[in-house]
Amino acid sequence: MTVSTNFQAALLALASTAILSLVDNFVEPVSREAGLWQFHVFRTLFAIPLLLIFAKVSGAAWWPANIRTLALRSALVAVGLFIYFGTLAVLPVAQAGAGVFTAPIWVMLFSALLFKTRVSALQAIAIPCGFIGALILLQIDPANLTTLSVLPVAAGAFYGLGMLMTRHRCAEESAVALSMGVFVVIGVAAAVLLIVFTLWPMSGDAPGFAARGWVAPSARFIALTAVQGVGAVIAVTLIAQAYRIGLPAYVAVFEYSFLVFACFWAFLLRGDTVGPSALIGIAIIIASGAMLSLFGSKEARA
């Protein structure tokens, strides 16, 4: 493992979070057109052909070298994402997001416990610091935490374990195959949930985004989902490649940059500004990534 490879992985992770934080702005308008599971089904229908075309043009393999390990990795990532999306129906976005951003901490812990990877003192400092910065940026109020707030933490654990498998069990897979696996699992599971909520709709008030059944797709829904799908394909492929070539505990901390880019896009697209506490959180996240990049390179050379 070379220093330059880790640096390349960090750049891929940053590019992934920049793209994903941009296209996630399309999810809110999509929620006014149809439900979450219909969105995932249509996004998968857009994603699979795009990945096949990219595989054909680039010469990358799209069929897995080991279908069992790829299926397990895809399922772990999908479970983490489904828990996250499911908690959006019952928890504030900030709490759900904070739980998912425990993933780098889980990556560090699982690296040491399951794969016997040495975690440096620098990583042990940078990763929790990045999480603290994320909590400050998300402005979590401890008074609003409930037992349900633990669920997004489980989402972070599943996602983190899936990312670890990318390096330790699926390194022989192409980034295209890794992305294909995630989209297929999410698409199939979403199709099942869409059928369930369509045949047995929830009683009472109008169902929310995560409990809505089939809705006749509008042209706006299709266009928004297509744009989001293209961005998601690129972002998921980039982060898969980052974890393939880089040390997971090193790459993970750069996923905190998602929040920094989200603030940037919110300002650029809607003119939203951030307060002093959010700026402190951003500074901590940037500092943790910079510390890992600068001093981590020296440590690796040593």
Q: What is the mean pLDDT of residues 155-184?
A: 94
- Would you call 216 exposed, middle or buried from its count of C-beta atoms within 10 A (0-12, 13-18, 19+)? exposed
Q: How many residues make up the chain in this entry?
A: 302
Please list, residue by residue across 51-86, b when 16 or more beta carbons sit within 10 angstroms of its beta carbon and e when fewer do.
Answer: beebbeeeeeebebeeeebbebbbbbbbbbbbbbbb
For the segment 230-282, what is each residue's pLDDT rounded down to a tens digit? 999 999 999 999 999 988 888 988 999 998 898 899 888 888 887 888 888 88
φ and ψ of 216, to 5 deg? -55, 120
Write the CB contacts of 163 (distance below 8 Å, at least 6 apart in sequence): 77, 103, 107, 239, 243, 248, 251, 252
Report pLDDT for 137.
81
Cα–Cα distance, 250 to 256 (Å, whole number)? 12
Report pLDDT for 294.
66
Report pLDDT for 295.
62
Please provide the average confidence, as pLDDT, over all residues in the chain.
Answer: 87
Give yes or no for a contact between 135 and 97, defined as CB atoms under 8 angstroms apart: no
For the segment 118-149, what is each residue's pLDDT rounded down to a tens digit? 878 888 888 899 899 888 888 777 777 777 77
User: pLDDT over 70 for what percent of the chain?
Assistant: 93
Give yes or no for a contact between 95 and 149, defined as CB atoms under 8 angstroms apart: yes
Sign of the Cα torsion 145, 146, 151, 157 reads positive
Q: Is residue 53 scored above 90 in pLDDT?
A: yes
> What's the pTM value of the predicted model, to 2 decimals?
0.88
| Other beta carbons within 10 Å of 225 | 26
